[in-house]
Structures are given as structure tokens and as C-alpha cells.
């Protein structure tokens, strides 16, 4: 893969759980991709960004070997690669920003009959996992001697076929564990997708990354924020301002033909739920409108 002319190169998952949200994030950042997502490579047409579609396990190596400058990958994959590879370029990969999707946990899970009291219960037991590095670290940190059996998939069947006593695997809803007669006994890592960067990103590319980061942060803020508009009796303005969730400086506007009321507009940085609206109404607010925010930049 040839070097580029000052374009930022990002590695994202080719297919799987992170693909859609990774592409959606770029889209929300205003980045339009030129080719269809099932190819290995595509260019953005309106931002100096090239996208490489690869298996998630390969993303840290793509970034550390400088084929890509940045990547979107689960922390579980990043840390496992960092623990299982001696390569100093992998160690120097930096986590730039948690992205809030792909959330899951890496957990020990055991058959219901297994009596789990603490990590010591794993002593002399066998553990099937696709994450030998993370499991080894957990065992070492807790002074536990156990046998790790590495499997690349279908880890959850190992206890049922008497291959191992327990497993350590990714869990989100827990449905897969339950189907296989297993229960989660210990979480060893909470994970989500993160934006990573090569440890020695060139100074020429850093401004492009900074620009992308600003956009991603704007998308994240907009997602968690709402624009709220309401009418308030003059004497209730302070009360109402007090219950607007996470609103720093609401705008107070006069309403034509009304001297007894004002309109309040505010950006709320926390969730605005039905009970928030009920609370506002109880304080005297009326005509309450809550709107999504598409983009934000301070
Ligand atoms: O082909 P490639 O190697 O790129 O993909 P992959 O098959 O290795 O990964 P993929 O697409 O399954 O997951 C990509 C990333 O999504 C993982 O590395 C995690 O960071 C994240 N993620 C989030 C998950 C889950 N949630 C998850 N639930 N990865 C896997 N699972 C598995 C889980 O282990 C179980 O087997 O999904 C199954 C369903 O989980 P439950 O608990 O909802 O039943
Ligand atoms: Zn994978």
C-alpha cells in the first residue's frame, strides 16, 4: 500500500458489530465516502481521509505499522494485542477518544453448578478464551494458577463438552451465556470502541486528526444534548431555570403581546426525559418543545 499525499488513513472493521456505527460516525462528521463499504479501501470525497476496511483483529497492526494513521477498534482487541505482542509499535498506539458504541464486557462465566466465590475459585481450573493475554494478566494480578485454553470462536461450548471448567468471553446482553447454561461470575474488562492513533503520527497529519476529533466531539455532544423551548410566567423563570437539566445559560426572549410571560430557550447537556418535562410543567412552564441537535461547535 503506497504512502499517501498528506491524507489521513483510518482503519475500520470490514464487517461486523463495529462497521455500521463507525461509518455512521464518519457520516455524522460530514464525511462522504466515495466507494461502497464492502471494498477494502475507499476515499472520502470532501475530507482528506482514506478508509481501509479490515478485520478488527488486524486494526492495531495496521495502525502500529503505519499503514493507517488512526483506527476504530474495541478496547478488548487493542489491549489483547498489546498484551500478547512484544512489538513496541503496538505498545505505543495511543487511545485518543472513547466512542460510546460497541460496548461490552470481557467476563469469566461458569456453569450454574460451579461455586464461584472469588477469583481464587479459578485456582487449578481450566479457562477457554479468545483473550489469553487479558486472562493471563487477570490471573497474574490475582495470584491465581489456572490453565488457559485458547480458542478462536464458540468459546461458550467449552464447558458443555467438558473441554474446560469455565470460559472468559465477551458479553453484552448475556443471552449467549444463558443459552449455554453459563452465568457471568466476574468482569475482567469493560470495553467500548475507541479511536486509536499511531504513536508517532506525523506533525503534518496531526492537524487533520485534530479537525476530525473536533467534529467527532461535536457529534457526541449533539447526541447527548437537546434543545428545549418553553414559555414561563415571569415570576417562575428562576424556578424553571433551576430544573433545566445541564443548561448553562438559557436565553430569555420576550413573547409578542404578552407581558406576563417569556420564552426560554436552552441547550440541555443531559437527558431530557418525560419526568423532566412533567417537572417543568409543574413549575409553571407551558408549550414545552424538545428538539434534537444535529451539530454543535463551541
Ligand atoms: O471479522 P472480524 O474479526 O472483524 O469480527 P469479529 O467476529 O472478531 O468481531 P465482532 O464483529 O463480533 O465484534 C467486534 C467488536 O464488537 C468486539 O471486538 C467488541 O469490541 C464489540 N462487541 C460488542 C462484541 C459484543 N458486543 C458481543 N456481544 N463482540 C462480540 N460479542 C459476542 C459475545 O461474545 C457473544 O458471543 O456476541 C455474542 C452475543 O452476545 P450476548 O451477550 O448479547 O449474547
Ligand atoms: Zn475479530
Which ligand has the nearest atom to the CA of 99?
1
Antiparallel, parallel or unpaired: β 104-111 and 126-129: unpaired
Give the contacts of 220 (CB within 8 A, at least 6 positions apart): 99, 100
**The ligand 1 atom nearest the CA atom of 75:** 20
Q: Is 150 in the pocket of ligand 1 (CB under 6 A)?
A: no
Radius of gyration of the chain (CA): 25
Q: Compute, in angstroms, the gap from residue 272 CA to the centroid of ligand 1.
A: 31
Q: Compute, in angstroms, the gap from residue 170 CA to the centroid of ligand 1.
A: 7
pTM of the model: 0.90
pLDDT tens, N- to C-terminus, the chain (298 residues) = 445 568 999 999 999 999 999 999 999 999 999 866 557 999 999 999 999 999 999 999 999 999 999 999 999 999 999 999 888 899 999 999 999 999 999 999 999 999 999 999 999 999 999 999 999 999 999 999 999 999 999 999 999 999 999 999 999 999 999 999 999 999 999 999 999 999 999 999 999 999 999 999 999 999 889 999 999 999 999 999 998 988 778 999 999 999 999 999 999 987 788 888 999 999 999 999 999 998 888 7
Which ligand has the nearest atom to the CA of 77?
1
> Nearest to residue 250, comparing CAs of 261, 234, 237, 233?
237
Q: Is 169 in the pocket of ligand 1 (CB under 6 A)?
A: yes
Q: Which of 54, 57, 172 should be mutated for ligand 1, with most atoms under 8 A from CB? A: 172
Grouping H, G, I as helix, E, B as strand and the rest as coil, residue 136 is helix
**Shortest-distance Cα residue to atom 14 of ligand 1:** 17
Q: Compute, in angstroms, the gap from residue 17 CA to the centroid of ligand 1.
A: 6
Q: Compute, in angstroms, the gap from residue 98 CA to the centroid of ligand 1.
A: 17
Amino acid at each position: 500500500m503506497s504512502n499517501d499525499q498528506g491524507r489521513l488513513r483510518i482503519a475500520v472493521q470490514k464487517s461486523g458489530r463495529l462497521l455500521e456505527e463507525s461509518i455512521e460516525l464518519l457520516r455524522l462528521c460530514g464525511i462522504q465516502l466515495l466507494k461502497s463499504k464492502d471494498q477494502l479501501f475507499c476515499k472520502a470525497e470532501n475530507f482528506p481521509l482514506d478508509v481501509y476496511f479490515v478485520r478488527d483483529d488486524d486494526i492495531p497492526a495496521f495502525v502500529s505499522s503505519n499503514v493507517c494513521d488512526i483506527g476504530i477498534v474495541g478496547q478488548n482487541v487493542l489491549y489483547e494485542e498489546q498484551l500478547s505482542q512484544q512489538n513496541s509499535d503496538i505498545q505505543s498506539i495511543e487511545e485518543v477518544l472513547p466512542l460510546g458504541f460497541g460496548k461490552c464486557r470481557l467476563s469469566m462465566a461458569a456453569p450454574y453448578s460451579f461455586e464461584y466465590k472469588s477469583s481464587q475459585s479459578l485456582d487449578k481450573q481450566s479457562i477457554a478464551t479468545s483473550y489469553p493475554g487479558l486472562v493471563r494478566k487477570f490471573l497474574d494480578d490475582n495470584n491465581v494458577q489456572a490453565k488457559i485454553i485458547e480458542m478462536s470462536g464458540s468459546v461458550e461450548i467449552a464447558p458443555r463438552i467438558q473441554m474446560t471448567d469455565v470460559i472468559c468471553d465477551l458479553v453484552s446482553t448475556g443471552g449467549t451465556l444463558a443459552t449455554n447454561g453459563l452465568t457471568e461470575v466476574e468482569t475482567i474488562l469493560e470495553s467500548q470502541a475507541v479511536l486509536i492513533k499511531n504513536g508517532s503520527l506525523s506533525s503534518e497529519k496531526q492537524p487533520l486528526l485534530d479537525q476530525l476529533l473536533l467534529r467527532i466531539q461535536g457529534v457526541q455532544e449533539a447526541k447527548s444534548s437537546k434543545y428545549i423551548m418553553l414559555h414561563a410566567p415571569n415570576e417562575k423563570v428562576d424556578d424553571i431555570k433551576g430544573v433545566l437539566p445541564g443548561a448553562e445559560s438559557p436565553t430569555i426572549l420576550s413573547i409578542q403581546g404578552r407581558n406576563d410571560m417569556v420564552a426560554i430557550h436552552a441547550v440541555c447537556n443531559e437527558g431530557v426525559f418525560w419526568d423532566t418535562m412533567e417537572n417543568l410543567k409543574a413549575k409553571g412552564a407551558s408549550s414545552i418543545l424538545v428538539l434534537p441537535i444535529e451539530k454543535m461547535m463551541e
